[in-house]
């Protein structure tokens, strides 16, 4: 399987190796595909497995309709990165829905750190590198969590081998472009291990999340679904996952929205 090239020129997933790595995790049923619309869609269609297993994980080489939040798109050529979705009952998670994207972003951060790769988190769900020369953020991954009846479907996208000519947006990057070469199967396995650890434990995720969250301490502007914009200082993250933003008039708890950092990043 390893030697076969995906149609984009990126290597295909090594399905037998990936299956055996996932089997070792002991709690997940793997569903691995060449092409799907969105791994979240396939996970949602297979949630009935959760009557007999603790979790399912859907992995695909290619998504034809990968999704971000708010109907945005997640775009990546076949084989260039990780597209995976985990389905698990909400009762397996000690945190509530609005905190799950943050915890899973932290799981990606922790998994990459195990390979010597230091990433940061932009509230709520972006996994980023800080470019020390230009003081800007480059997005390497994102998390999309859906609540479907009594289950969470946790979608994770990560650019691994993506080359510069295939970048979907200028502010994107990949592990390869940042100088790291790691096999996708190994990263997937580590991310699953971290999610399993974080979902069950009483681990105080907020402290660790806050240490790597580039949004905290920054002057930001955030726009919610109703197009209301709040500008202020991002102060802290609450156990609900909400971001506390303070300005001269008020203290706001933001649970959903897009953040614009109004100052340059410090490295």
Residues that bind ligand BT5 (CB under 6 A): 38-40, 63, 66-70, 72-76, 83-85, 125, 139, 142-144, 155-157, 159, 168-169, 172
Taking the complex as a whole, the smallest distance from the CB of residue 248 to ligand BT5 amounts, in Å, to 29
Which C-beta is closer to ligand BT5: that of 35 or that of 247? 35
Q: How far apart are CA 46 and CA 58, in angstroms?
A: 9
Taking the complex as a whole, the smallest distance from the CB of residue 36 to ligand BT5 amounts, in Å, to 8
**Backbone φ, ψ for residue 206 (5° rounding):** -65, -40
Cβ-based neighbours of 1, under 8 Å, separated by 6 or more: 12, 13, 14, 15, 16, 17
Which C-beta is closer to ligand BT5: that of 18 or that of 83? 83
Which C-beta is closer to ligand BT5: that of 251 or that of 260? 260
Relative to beta strand 55-63, strand 28-36 is parallel
Residue with nearest beta carbon to ligand BT5 = 142
Rg over alpha carbons for the chain, rounded to the nearest Å, is 18
Taking the complex as a whole, the smallest distance from the CB of residue 89 to ligand BT5 amounts, in Å, to 19
Taking the complex as a whole, the smallest distance from the CB of residue 202 to ligand BT5 amounts, in Å, to 27
Taking the complex as a whole, the smallest distance from the CB of residue 125 to ligand BT5 amounts, in Å, to 6
Q: How far apart are CA 47 and CA 150, in angstroms?
A: 10
Q: How far apart are CA 161 and CA 115, in angstroms?
A: 15
Q: How far apart are CA 234 and CA 220, in angstroms?
A: 7
Strand boundaries in the chain, DSSP class E: 28-36, 55-63, 81-89, 120-122, 126-131, 136-148, 151-159, 219-223, 229-237, 243-246, 251-254, 258-261
Which C-beta is closer to ligand BT5: that of 188 or that of 198? 188
Taking the complex as a whole, the smallest distance from the CB of residue 101 to ligand BT5 amounts, in Å, to 9
Which C-beta is closer to ligand BT5: that of 79 or that of 155? 155
Which C-beta is closer to ligand BT5: that of 109 or that of 139? 139
């Amino acid at each position: 399987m390893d030697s076969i090239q995906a149609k984009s020129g990126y290597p295909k997933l090594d399905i037998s190796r990936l299956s055996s790595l996932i089997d070792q995790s002991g709690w997940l049923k793997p569903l691995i595909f060449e092409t799907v619309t969105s791994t979240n869609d396939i996970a949602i269609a297979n949630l009935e497995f959760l009557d007999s297993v603790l979790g399912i994980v859907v992995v695909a080489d290619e998504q034809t309709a990968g999704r971000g939040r708010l109907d945005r798109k997640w775009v990546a050529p076949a084989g260039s990165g990780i597209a995976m979705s985990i389905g698990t009952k909400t009762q397996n998670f000690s945190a509530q829905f609005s905190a799950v994207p943050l915890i899973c972003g932290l799981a990606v951060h922790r998994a990459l750190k195990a390979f010597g790769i230091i990433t940061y988190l932009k509230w709520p769900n972006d996994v980023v590198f800080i470019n020390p020369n230009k003081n800007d953020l480059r997005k390497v991954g994102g998390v999309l969590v859906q609540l479907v009846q009594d289950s969470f479907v946790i979608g994770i996208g990560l650019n691994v081998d993506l080359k510069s000519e295939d970048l979907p947006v200028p502010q994107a990057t990949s592990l390869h472009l940042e100088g790291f070469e790691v096999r996708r199967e190994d990263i997937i396995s580590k991310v699953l291990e971290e999610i399993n650890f974080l979902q069950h434990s009483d681990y105080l995720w907020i402290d660790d999340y806050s240490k790597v969250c580039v949004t905290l301490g920054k002057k930001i502007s955030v726009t919610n679904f109703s197009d209301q914009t709040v500008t202020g200082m991002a102060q802290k993250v609450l156990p609900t996952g909400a971001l506390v933003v303070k300005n001269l008039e008020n203290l706001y708890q933001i649970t959903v929205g897009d953040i614009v950092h109004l100052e340059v990043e410090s490295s």
